[in-house]
């Protein structure tokens, strides 16, 4: 449970690092309530990088459990090669983000602001490509307190930079972008210094040409991991975009954006559990301890649900107050309060769903979960939300309600899949995977 707590703390430190510019910029203008829209392509890349990095959770975690430490450093370097190449390919999307956003229905005003912000965020694109493999490398060895200390130090600097650039100098979204770029690169540098100096107990043996070996198989697993997580992330981002197609969308989109900020804070707790259970399951399967892997799933699931219930109660208790953290508009605050019930339900569902996704990553089920996400989110949930919101006239409430249905269906299916899993067979497959992926490393 220490590992679970430390990963949740780390995740909270990272989301709190984003909070100052979110709240301070939102007070500057109601337009900045659209911060999730402005940062959509940036956070999409975060999700894509996080997803690609999640392949390391499977491989590094199982290799660590099997005692094959040298493989971890090679895996991290392979992930750097893939993610840095991907980052270069994503640059045109950042450059052309204004017309892309206009095509999918955003206003010219929002699209131009998003495009300016996206250009300033290009350095962060490459910071993500470096950071997430480093995180998975350290997490698989349960060195989470190192990451937490680095994030805590950067958080203090981040808060100072946010106040100075956004409020004191009045640089707005440009100041927010500079602050985020600086903070992410400081995290990368701090973690790399730790790895290079300590050698991470033998897991880091220096740069190697082996990073370019067996890349295609690594790309396929990374792609499956990225698709799985991006489908989950884009689902809630689509909620903001679809709401923008409603008649007179400004107030509903502002309210939804505020709710997504709150949901994002809460999601960091669940993401901490996601990382913890992924590492624990992969470590135990790699070591052949299938019973401990199964027991860990039960313990973390119950703990996360309990915290989810508490967070849901907090949303209900503060629904008349938390909107004013983000806006001074009475109309936006009232609409946000009206949506608080749906936010509370989403918070509860998202307390379990990331845990089950973490189990899938730890066991190497990324492709299966990607198919489940497509069916539940985009064949059931999204069409249901559009039908309720537009055809039946329920507006933002209808759109969100339908999409919650997709989350419910996905969670139920993942519960069933996890419950009927043969964990002994999963441990055998993990042993086979370590032999397959570690062959080229072991030969050198």
The model's pLDDT over 62-83, given as tens digits with 9 standing for 90+, comes to 888 888 888 889 889 988 998 8
d(CA 432, CA 25): 51
**Among residues of the chain, what percentage have pLDDT more than 70?**
85
Q: Is 204 exposed, middle or buried (0-12, 13-18, 19+ CB in 10 A)?
A: buried
pLDDT score for 260: 85
> Is residue 444 in a domain?
no
Q: What is the CA radius of gyration of the chain?
A: 21
The mean pLDDT value of the chain amounts to 82
pLDDT score for 32: 46
| Domains: count for the chain | 1
Q: Cβ neighbours of residue 13 under 8 Å, at least 6 residues apart?
A: 148, 151, 152, 155
Handedness of CA 394, 229, 31, 107 (dihedral sign): negative
Residue 105: pLDDT over 60? yes
Question: CB of 33 within 8 A of CB of 326?
Answer: yes
> Is residue 55 in a domain?
yes
Residue 24: pLDDT over 80? no
Residue 303: pLDDT over 80? yes
Kindly report the backbone phi and psi dihedral angles of residue 89, in degrees, each rounded to the nearest multiple of 5, phi listed first.
-70, -25
pLDDT score for 312: 95
> Is residue 155 in a domain?
yes
Residue 19: pLDDT over 50? no
Rounded to an integer, the average pLDDT of 200-208 is: 86
> Is residue 216 in a domain?
yes
Among 271, 262, 275, residue whose Cα is nearest residue 232: 271
Residue 367: pLDDT over 50? yes
Instruction: Locate 156 and state its tokens.
Output: 């203090």
Residue 15: pLDDT over 50? no
pLDDT score for 52: 66
Provide the pLDDT confidence category of residue 341 given band limits of 50, 70 and 90: very high
pLDDT score for 13: 46
> Is residue 31 in a domain?
yes
Domain with 96 in it: 2-439
Residue 343: pLDDT over 90? yes
d(CA 308, CA 212): 42
d(CA 372, CA 368): 6
Task: Give the chain as a 3 state SS string.
Answer: CHHHHHHHHHHHHHHHHHHHHHHHHHHHCHHHHHHHHHCHHHHHHHHHHHHHHHHHHHHHHHHHHCCCCHHHHHHHHHHHHHHHHHHHHHHHHHHCHHHHHHHCCCCHHHHHHHHHHHHHCHHHHHHHHHHHHHHHHHHHCCCHHHHHHHHHHHHHHHHHHHHHHHHHCCCHHHHHHHHHHHHHHHHHHHHHHHHHHHHHHHCCCCCCHHHHCCHHHHHHHHHHHHHHHHHHHHHHHHHHHHHCCCCCCHHHHHHHHHHHHHHHHHHHHHHHHHHHHHHHHHHHHHCCCHHHHHHHHHHHHHHHHHHHHHHHHHHHHCCCCHHHHCCCCHHHHHHHHHCHHHHHHHHHHHHHHHHHHHHHHHHCCHHHHHHHHHHHHHHHHHHHHHHHHHHCCCHHHHHHHHHHHHHHHHHHHHHHHHHCCCHHHHHHHHHHHHHHHHHHHHCC
pLDDT score for 14: 47
Question: CB of 250 within 8 A of CB of 395?
Answer: no
Instruction: Locate 187 and state its tokens.
Output: 């995290």
Rounded to an integer, the average pLDDT of 32-56 is: 58
Among 208, 202, 192, residue whose Cα is nearest residue 63: 202
> Is residue 97 in a domain?
yes
Among 60, 9, 98, 46, residue whose Cα is nearest residue 282: 60
Question: CB of 109 within 8 A of CB of 59?
Answer: no
Rounded to an integer, the average pLDDT of 253-268 is: 85
Q: What is the pLDDT of residues 121-169, one digit of tens each?
A: 889 889 988 998 998 899 888 888 899 899 999 999 999 998 898 888 8
Provide the pLDDT confidence category of residue 272 given band limits of 50, 70 and 90: confident
Among 75, 77, 74, 83, residue whose Cα is nearest residue 51: 83
> Is residue 352 in a domain?
yes
pLDDT score for 41: 53
Residue 42: pLDDT over 60? no
Residue 3: pLDDT over 90? no
pLDDT score for 43: 56
pLDDT score for 44: 58
Rounded to an integer, the average pLDDT of 219-245 is: 79
Q: What angle do CA 17, 240, 101 make, to 5 degrees?
A: 95
d(CA 409, CA 414): 9
Rounded to an integer, the average pLDDT of 262-285 is: 86
When mean pLDDT is compared across 114-123, 198-207, 216-225, 353-362, the lowest value belongs to: 216-225
């Amino acid at each position: 449970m220490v590992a679970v707590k430390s990963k949740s703390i780390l995740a909270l430190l990272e989301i709190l690092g984003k909070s100052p510019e979110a709240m301070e910029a939102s007070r500057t203008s109601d337009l900045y309530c659209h911060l999730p829209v402005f940062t959509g392509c940036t956070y999409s890349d975060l999700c894509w990088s996080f997803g690609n990095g999640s392949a390391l959770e499977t491989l590094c975690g199982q290799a660590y459990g099997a005692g094959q430490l040298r493989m971890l450093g090679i895996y991290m370097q392979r992930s750097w090669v893939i993610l840095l190449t991907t980052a270069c390919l994503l640059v045109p999307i950042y450059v052309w983000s204004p017309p892309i956003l206009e095509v999918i229905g955003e206003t010219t005003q929002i699209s131009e602001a998003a495009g300016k912000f996206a250009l300033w965020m290009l350095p962060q694109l490459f910071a993500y490509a470096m950071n997430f493999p480093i995180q998975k490398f350290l997490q698989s060895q349960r060195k989470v307190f190192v990451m937490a200390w680095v994030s805590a130090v950067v958080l203090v600097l981040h808060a100072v930079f946010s106040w100075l650039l956004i409020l004191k100098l009045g640089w707005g979204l440009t100041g927010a972008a500079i602050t985020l770029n600086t903070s992410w690169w400081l995290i990368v540098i701090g973690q790399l210094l730790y790895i290079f100096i300590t050698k991470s107990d033998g897991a880091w043996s220096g740069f190697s040409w082996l990073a370019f070996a067996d890349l295609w198989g690594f790309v396929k697993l990374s792609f499956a991991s990225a698709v799985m997580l991006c489908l989950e992330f884009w689902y809630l981002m689509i909620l903001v975009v679809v709401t923008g197609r409603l008649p007179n969308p400004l107030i509903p989109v502002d309210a939804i954006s505020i709710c997504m900020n709150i949901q994002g804070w809460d999601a960091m707790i669940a993401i901490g559990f996601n990382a913890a259970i992924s590492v624990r399951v992969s470590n135990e399967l790699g070591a052949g301890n299938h019973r401990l892997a199964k027991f860990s799933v039960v313990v973390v699931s119950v703990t996360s649900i309990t915290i989810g219930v508490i967070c849901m109660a907090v949303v209900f208790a503060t629904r008349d107050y938390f909107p004013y953290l983000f806006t001074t508009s009475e109309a936006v605050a009232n609409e946000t309060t009206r949506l608080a019930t749906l936010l509370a339900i989403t918070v509860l569902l998202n307390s379990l769903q990331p845990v089950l996704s973490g189990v899938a990553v730890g066991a190497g089920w990324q492709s299966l979960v990607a198919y489940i996400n497509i069916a539940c989110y985009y064949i059931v949930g999204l069409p249901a939300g559009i039908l309720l919101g537009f055809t039946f006239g329920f507006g933002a409430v209808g759109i969100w309600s339908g999409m919650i249905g997709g989350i419910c269906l996905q969670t139920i299916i993942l519960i069933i899949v996890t419950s009927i899993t043969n964990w002994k067979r999963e441990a055998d497959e993990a042993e086979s995977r370590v032999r397959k992926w570690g062959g080229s490393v072991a030969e050198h």
